[in-house]
Chains A and B, each alone.
Chain A
Amino acid sequence: MLTYILFMLVVGSIYALLAQSLMLSWGLAGLVNLGLAGFFAVGAYASAMLTTWEQAPILVGVFAAVLAGGFAGLLVCFSTLRLRDDYLAIVTLGFAEIVRIVASNEVWLTGGTDGISGVPVMIARDTGIWFHLGTLLITVAAVILVYVLQRRLLASPWGRALRAVREDQTVASVAGKSIVRFKAQAFSLAAAIAGLAGALYGHYTSYVAPDQFQPLITIYIFLAVTAGGNARPAGAVLGAYLLVAFLEATRFLAEIAPGVTALQAAALREIAVGIGLVFVLTLRPDGLLPERSQKAPAS
C-alpha cells in the first residue's frame, strides 16, 4: 500500500511538472499546446536513448532531454507564431501524433512499439521502499525547482511583458515588445519543462514506449491546470496532485461497479475526465487558485 501511495505521488509530481509546462505556455503566454504528450515523449526518449544505449550518466540524459524538449518546442512554434492560435492548436496536436508514429516505426532509432526497456533508474531498485521514496524526493525537488523558477520569471519584467502579450498583442507590440520572441521563448521553455518531466518518468518506470504518450495525457494535464488555476504555478501543482487523486478514485469506483469489463471501466474513466474538463472550463475557468492581479510597480 505504501508503495502504491509513493508511486502515485511520483506520478503526481511528474504531472505537476507537465502542468507547470502547460501553465507557462497556455496560462501565461496564451499559447495552447495540445501536443504536450509529444514533448513529454521527446524528453523521455532523449534521456532513455542516451543513458541506456550510450551509457551516458543520468544527469547528462536529463540535461539532453531538457534541451531536446526546448528545441522541439522552438521548431513547432516557429511555423505558427505569426498566425492565429487555431493554427498552433492544430499543429501541436499533429506534432504529438507524429512523435508517436516515428517512435513506433523507426525501430533502429527508438526500439519501435517494444520501446526501450532497462532504462537506468535514479535510485537502485533493490533498496525496496527507498527506491520509490528517493525517486519521489528527486521528482519533488524538480517540481520545487521549476516552481521557484516560474515564480521568479513571473515577477520579472519578462513575465509582465509575457502577460501583456497574452492580453493584447497590439498594445504590447506598440510598447516595443517583440511578440514573436516572447512567445517563442515561453513556448520552448515550457516544452523544455515537459522534456524534463519525460526524462524523470523514464528513469522511474525504467521503460519507455510509444503507448505511454497517448494524447489522453494532454487532456489530463489540461484538466489539472484548469482545475488548479491556469496562471499560477501553485495552482498548476495543486491541480496535478488533485488530478491523480481523482483518477485513482475513479479507478476504484469503476472497479467496484458491477458488470463492467476492464475496457469499459477505462472508457468510463476517460468519459469522466472529458466531462470534468468541460465542466471546470465552464464553471470555474480560473481554477481553485485564480491569477492574482499584479500591482503596478511604484514609480
Chain B
Amino acid sequence: MFDAVLQALVNGVIAGALLAIPALGFSAIFAVLRFPNFAIGALATAGAYIAWIANVNFGLPIVAAIVIAFVSAAIFGAALEYGALERLGRGGALMKAIGSLAMAMVIENIVRFFFGNDLRAFDLPLARDLVFGPIRIGPQQITNFIFALAIMVAIWAFLSFSSLGRSMRAVADNSDLARLKGINPRLIALVTVAVGSGLCGVGGTLIGLDTSIDPLLGGRVLLSVFAAAVLGGLGSIPGAVAGAFVIGMVEEITVLALAPAYRLAVGFIVILVVLVIRPSGLLGSKAG
C-alpha cells in the first residue's frame, strides 16, 4: 500500500509538471487580459497535433516538434484574440469567456474534421521502465519532466530578466500604472496571449507524449488546469505552478481509491473547496 502511494506521488509530480505548462499559460493570459480563456484546452490539442505531424509525417525530433507546437499555438492564440475575441471585450470579460468557449469548440472540430476521433501516438523508441526499488518510471516520463522543468525555468527567466517579461508583470500588477510608465498595453497583451497560447500548445504536446493524442486531449485537462490556477490564485504565475503540482499528486492518489474517471472530478472538488475556504488561492493577493 505504501509502495502504491509512493508510486502515485512520483507519477503525480510528473503529471503536475506537465499540467503546470498550460496552467502557466492560462494564468498569464488571465493576469494581463483579465478573462478566463476557455480556448486553452483546444489550443493544447492543436499544438499537440501540429507537433505530431512534425514528428510522425516529417520525422523531426521531439525537441523540434515541441518548438513548432509552441510557435504554431502562439500564432493560433494570437489570431483568436485579435480575430475574434478582442472586439467582444467591449461587452465585458464574460463575453470574451463565452466567445473563447465557442472558439474552443471550433478548433476542436477543425482538428476532428481533418484527423477524426482516432487515438494517435508519437513516434517514440520503445524503452524499458526504469526501476528504483518499488518505483517504476518510463524513460519518456523523465524526458517530459525535464522538458517541463526547462520550460518553467525559461519562463521564470523571461519574466524576471527580460524587459518584455518585466513589463508583462507590471501590466498584470497594475495596468494603469504601467501605462503611465510608457508601457504599451496592446503590445504586452499580444506578447502575453502568444506566449500563453504557445505554452498551452507545448503542454498539449507533452501530455500527448505521455499518453496519446485525440481531439479531446485539451478538453480533458481543462478542468485540472483551471483547478491548478484557482488553487494557486487566479492570475498568479508561481501559484499556477504550485497548484499544478498539488493537483497532479491529488489526482494520482485519487485513482488509487476511486474509479479512474473520477480523476476529472478532483479538479472540480478542489475548485469548490478553495472558493469556500480561501478564494484568493495559495499565492493570490485578492479575489475581489
**Assembled-state Cα–Cα distance A114/B34 (Å):** 41
Which residues from chain B contact A80 at a C-beta distance below 8 Å?
A: 275
**Assembled-state Cα–Cα distance A219/B42 (Å):** 15
**Assembled-state Cα–Cα distance A273/B84 (Å):** 14
Q: Select B101's contact among A219, A275, A282, A285, beta carbons within 8 Å.
A: A219
Q: Nearest chain B CB to A144's CB is how many angstroms away?
A: 28
Q: Mark A210-235, 1 if CB is under 8 A from B, else 0.
A: 00000010010010000000000000
Which residues from chain B contact A30 at a C-beta distance below 8 Å?
A: 94
Task: Tell whether B98 is near chain A: CB-to-CB under 8 Å.
Answer: yes
Taking a contact as CB atoms under 8 Å apart, the answer to whether B271 and A94 are in contact is: yes
Taking a contact as CB atoms under 8 Å apart, the answer to whether B105 and A94 are in contact is: no
When A85-B94, A86-B234 are in contact, do A79 and B275 touch as well, CB less than 8 Å? Answer: yes
* In the complex, chain B residues 189-246 whose Cβ is within 8 Å of any chain A Cβ: 222-223, 226, 230, 234
Q: Which of A94, A263, A281 has the most CB of B within 10 A?
A: A94
Q: Select A89's contact among B36, B262, B268, beta carbons within 8 Å.
A: B36
When A94-B267, A105-B262 are in contact, do A87 and B98 touch as well, CB less than 8 Å? Answer: no
Which residues from chain A contact B110 at a C-beta distance below 8 Å?
A: 267, 271
Q: Mark B265-284, 1 if CB is under 8 A from A, else 0.
A: 10110011001100100000
Task: Tell whether A175 is near chain B: CB-to-CB under 8 Å.
Answer: no
Taking a contact as CB atoms under 8 Å apart, the answer to whether A278 and B103 are in contact is: yes
Q: Nearest chain B CB to A84's CB is how many angstroms away?
A: 6
Which residues from chain B contact A89 at a C-beta distance below 8 Å?
A: 36, 38, 94, 97
Task: Tell whether A277 is near chain B: CB-to-CB under 8 Å.
Answer: yes
Taking a contact as CB atoms under 8 Å apart, the answer to whether A87 and B112 are in contact is: no
* In the complex, chain A residues 230-283 whose Cβ is within 8 Å of any chain B Cβ: 263-264, 267-268, 270-271, 273-275, 277-278, 281-282
Which residues from chain A contact B288 at a C-beta distance below 8 Å?
A: 83-84
Which residues from chain A contact B87 at a C-beta distance below 8 Å?
A: 282
**Assembled-state Cα–Cα distance A96/B230 (Å):** 18
**Assembled-state Cα–Cα distance A285/B96 (Å):** 12
Nearest chain-A residue to B267 (Cβ)?
A94
Which residues from chain B contact A91 at a C-beta distance below 8 Å?
A: 268, 271-272, 275
**Assembled-state Cα–Cα distance A275/B84 (Å):** 9
Q: Mark B93-128, 1 if CB is under 8 A from A, else 0.
A: 111011101111110111011001100000000000
When A94-B223, A263-B117, A268-B113 are in contact, do A275 and B106 touch as well, CB less than 8 Å? Answer: yes
**Assembled-state Cα–Cα distance A218/B93 (Å):** 19
When A268-B109, A274-B103 are in contact, do A285 and B275 touch as well, CB less than 8 Å? Answer: no
Which residues of A are in contact with B by a Cβ distance under 8 Å? 30, 32, 34, 79-80, 82-87, 89-91, 93-95, 97-98, 101-102, 104-105, 216, 219, 222, 263-264, 267-268, 270-271, 273-275, 277-278, 281-282, 285
10 inter-chain pairs at a CB distance below 8 angstroms, sorted by A residue, are A30-B94, A89-B36, A91-B268, A93-B101, A93-B226, A105-B261, A105-B262, A222-B98, A222-B102, A270-B105
Which residues of B are in contact with A by a Cβ distance under 8 Å? 30, 35-36, 38, 84, 87-88, 91, 93-95, 97-99, 101-106, 108-110, 112-113, 116-117, 222-223, 226, 230, 234, 259, 261-262, 264-265, 267-268, 271-272, 275-276, 279, 287-288
Q: Which 9 residue pairs across A and B have the least CB separation, nearest first?
A: A274-B106, A94-B268, A267-B109, A267-B113, A277-B102, A274-B105, A274-B102, A270-B109, A267-B112
